[in-house]
Chain A
Amino acid sequence: MTRPLDGTTILEIDGPNTPLCIRLATSMAAKIAADLGARVLKLEPPGGDEVRAAPPLLPADGSSALFQFLNTSKRAIALPADRRSALDALLGGRIDAALYEEGDSDAAALLAARNIARVEIAGWPESMPRPHAPLSGFTVLALGGLLDMVGDAEREPLRLGGHQGSYPGGLAAFTALMAQLAAKGVPPARVSLVEALLWVNWKAASGAHADGKAPTRDGARSEFQVVPCADGHVALVYGVTQFDAVAALVGDARLNDPRFATRPERRRLIGDIYAVMRPWCATRTRAEIYAAAQGRGIPFGTVVTPFELLGDPQMIDRGFIVDMAGLKMPRLPVLWNGSGFAPSPLLEERAP
């Protein structure tokens, strides 16, 4: 199958001293382009990409699952000690666009000199007074306000699993990269991880602006809660107009109490509502709860593990997880005219 970015050449320039959280975003953006058919040259600094040793590690050979996931369909070139000259030589070829990282002054200067379409991946907003302070994926979540939104009010704020401080920045960098390729003369773009997170977390700003009070994590006082069931957990998520449908699903007369007639009252009495919902969930399996809820159009979600996704009928039917040289690998989350893009393993090449 032809791919939409066939014939496009993109450089992923990994800087020599880039924080891990920024590298994950750079590699994510380049990976998406590579899986879509672009020829992506991943230029690793002398000593290699630090992500090669980052967890989770695979039991067979100790290699990094994270590195494998983020570097599909690329060609890797380890730059020699004289990195600047090697970069300069590579930039003399036909390059459509480049991704590079904040703090990599060699890449910044060489790309600007040749006026190559480019996206810089950075940590902080440029407008911050200390835009170069140390940063981690976790502190990105703190600055973006997302940490404040997850967990219990009385307890420490909680991070989302995985690398969510980095990946939104990676997706934004991919879209900025496509914008670079869409027309001639598009000005260079800059993505900061913190801004990408803030943008994702816009409801916190919208809520604060509308109400003069920030929405925040409210754990057991939230309308949406995760509760135990017979074989795991289920997330009780439903629309603001669906409470009657939920009451009908559960079939317990206590939920028909006039005290629960309005949403503000339901929010105030949420503990009483969950006191009815919990026992109902406790005696049923995830599959039973999910099927009964979907039957009424109620979007409860069963908590599934990454391993369980491998056997999920919907994921299997759509071929979401593919075999890549012996590794199970999620493909890009899109079917293009009905077909998925199968990723291929990273090719290791010698420096030119």
Chain B
Amino acid sequence: MKPLAGIRVLDFGLLTAGANTSAMLGDLGAEVVKIESGAYMDPFRAVGQRDTSPGWWNRSPPFHFTNRNKRGVALNLKHAEGRRLILELAKGCDVVVENFRRGVLERFGLDYAALKAANPRIVLASISSQGDTGPNRLHASYGSTLDATGGMAALTGYADDGLPRISGMDVNYPDQVVSLLAAGLVIAAVMNARRTGRGALLDISQREIASFMIGEEIVAAAADPARRTPSRQGNAQDGVALQRCLRCADGRWLAITLQDEKDEVAWATVIDDVSIDQWAASQDAEAAARVLNDAGIAAAVVKNGMDLIRDRALAGDTLAWLPDGGLVKGMPYRFAGMPLVIERRAPDLGEHTGETLRELLGLDDQALARLAELGVTSAEPERI
């Protein structure tokens, strides 16, 4: 049985952190209704823009990666009727996920107090850069901002140039880890709401998550004056005898970890009496990794994006290939006998507005026509 069967999620999630939290809930069996509008669509539709011909907003690869298995509804929150319908939908939902700029939900009269008044069992997952409170609550960030302000960049860098490093725009690491935790927190809150009849406001700060990912360094820096100014040590690591990348004969990089003396002895046996770099330079990386693994040493070829899409055994369940050759996000875990099924590709803007409002709110053709006339359900982007 799917763990979240019967759970309905109203998804205002944008880009990765929000939209992906809802996608993970959907993969576990929840029904996800993504709300956008022509007045404000998920920016991922534009960030991943591939062309300028009509409908370009439905073709962005990163949008498709993150929004499969969702229905798409267009409702303009700037319109009173749009806001009223959201509150009606909330009555039949268990979860609302949002990562708007702070203040947007309040401005629309859709904050936790309003949602709770409509449905006391509702769980609102509010994901934001700095959290819902505090002097910096309105500050903006992108993922790599938080590499810096969360503390990880100070611990990341080559030993010789003194420069902290960030994960960069093609990773935005702090954005990516948010949903891994947020989805679990939402499930805990939903279980609690079922037991108690009371929902919850989950105020989730992405910056706090970024700092949590180096929690032990905060504990250590607070207790040990010697750790107040961290040194960046490249790939080396405290407590590890040797850890670095080696350039191999085929030009590829090999990552190795010699944990302790035992590993060093095993290593010495493998490489005989040449230097580490000489040995690597005489081997192809995959073959070298196998030799070292056989000797009990942790070693792996540094994989890149092309490896990930070519090597399906490596990708495991983390990517899902569609019948038309399309590629979307898979799952970070697997449940025995419950493979991920992509039942829907990512929705076109407003693709399921009519069917969803009919089914969930009982609207008829006349009511839908009126909404269209008022512009409440418009699915034409107003601005780019």
Contact = CB atoms under 8 A, between A and B. Distances in A.
Interface in B196-254: 200-205, 207-209, 211-224, 226-230, 232, 234-235, 237-240, 243-245, 247, 253
A139 B255 contact: yes
B270 interface: no
A198 B308 contact: yes
Interface stretch (A77-85, A86-94, A274-282, A334-342): A334-342
A182 B190 contact: yes
Interface string A313-329: 11101101100000111
Contacts of A139: 255-257, 298-300
B220 A65 contact: yes
B146 interface: yes
A228 B31 CA distance: 47
Given A158-B157, A179-B187, A310-B221, A142 B151 contact: no
A179 B3 contact: yes
Contacts of B238: 55-56
A149 B171 contact: yes
B334 A189 contact: yes
Contact of B3 (A57, A141, A146, A182): A182
Interface stretch (A41-49, A98-106, A167-175, A253-261): A167-175
A130 interface: yes
Nearest to B294: A133
B1 A330 contact: no
B223 A58 contact: yes
Nearest to A121: B333
Interface residues of B, number: 144
Interface string B305-331: 111110011111111000000010111
A178 interface: yes
B166 A327 contact: no
Contacts of A306: 151, 154-155, 211, 214, 217-218, 220-221, 227, 230
A132 B317 CA distance: 18
A202 B66 CA distance: 10
Interface string A168-203: 100111111111111111111111101110111111
Contact of B303 (A144, A217, A315, A329): A144
Interface in B1-41: 1-5, 24, 28
B335 A214 contact: no
B197 to A, nearest CB: 13
A25 B192 CA distance: 25
B166 A224 contact: yes
B130 A338 contact: no
A196 B62 CA distance: 18
B316 A192 contact: yes
B141 A314 contact: no
Interface in B144-162: 144-158
A134 B312 CA distance: 21
Contacts of B202: 334-336
Interface string A46-72: 000000001111111000011011100
A297 B140 contact: yes
A129 to B, nearest CB: 6
B318 A202 contact: yes
A309 B1 CA distance: 43
B94 to A, nearest CB: 11
Contacts of A194: 314, 316
B286 to A, nearest CB: 11
B226 A59 contact: yes
Given A58-B220, A145-B305, A180-B3, A235 B144 contact: yes
A330 B151 CA distance: 13
Nearest to B170: A215
Contact of B255 (A56, A138, A300): A138
Nearest to B307: A145
Contacts of B228: 305, 307
B170 A207 contact: yes
A172 B27 CA distance: 13
A172 B176 CA distance: 12
Given A162-B213, A327-B223, A186 B180 contact: no
A89 B132 CA distance: 46
A133 B293 contact: yes
B61 interface: yes
B341 interface: no
A13 interface: no
A246 interface: no
Interface string A137-161: 1111111111111111001111111
Interface string A199-230: 11111111111100111111000111010100
A337 to B, nearest CB: 5
A43 to B, nearest CB: 22
B274 interface: no
Given A4-B189, A182-B191, A330-B208, A69 B134 contact: no
Contact of B1 (A137, A186, A307, A334): A186
Interface of A: 4-5, 19-20, 32, 36, 54-60, 65-66, 68-70, 119, 125-130, 133-152, 155-164, 167-168, 171-192, 194-196, 198-210, 213-218, 222-224, 226, 228, 233-235, 237-240, 294, 297-310, 313-315, 317-318, 320-321, 327-330, 332-338
Interface of B: 1-5, 24, 28, 47-48, 50, 61-62, 65, 129-137, 139-142, 144-158, 163-173, 176-177, 180-181, 183-185, 187-192, 200-205, 207-209, 211-224, 226-230, 232, 234-235, 237-240, 243-245, 247, 253, 255-257, 259, 290, 293, 296-309, 312-319, 327, 329-338
Given A142-B301, A156-B235, 20 more contacts: A20-B259, A57-B220, A69-B216, A147-B245, A149-B170, A160-B167, A179-B4, A195-B316, A202-B329, A208-B304, A224-B168, A226-B148, A306-B155, A306-B211, A307-B222, A309-B218, A313-B134, A318-B205, A330-B219, A332-B212
8 A-B pairs with the lowest CB-CB distances in the bound complex, closest first: A161-B155, A214-B305, A125-B316, A208-B305, A301-B148, A175-B184, A333-B208, A204-B305
16 contacts: A65-B223, A129-B313, A134-B296, A142-B300, A143-B301, A156-B247, A158-B156, A167-B177, A172-B180, A191-B332, A199-B329, A209-B327, A306-B155, A307-B228, A327-B223, A328-B219
